[in-house]
Amino acid sequence: MTKLTPEEVQRRRELTDKLEKGTLTPEEAQELMEILEKEKKIAEEERDFAALVAIFLLLALIAMYLNKK
């Protein structure tokens, strides 16, 4: 699998900032989860366990955030 595009990296940063601020919409949360799923597949292929842990934590945070909404 190819790396994330520069646009995807930038969008992930924007969306994680919104997650931290509590201003992420459900649609944006879905977009962020899709980017993270792609990044998770890359990390799995590269056997990057630190990245996998970080991605799983972010996915869990998004799920908790959406449950509060």
Concatenating the DSSP letter of every residue in 39-50 gives HHHHHHHHT-HH
- Every domain of the chain and the residues it spans: 6-68
pLDDT at 22: 94
- Count Cα atoms within 13 angstroms, Cβ side, for 32: 25
What pLDDT does residue 38 have? 97
Q: Give CA–CA dist 25/28, Å, rounded.
A: 5
What pLDDT score does 35 carry? Answer: 98
- Ranges of residues in the chain whose predicted pLDDT is under 70: none
pLDDT at 1: 73
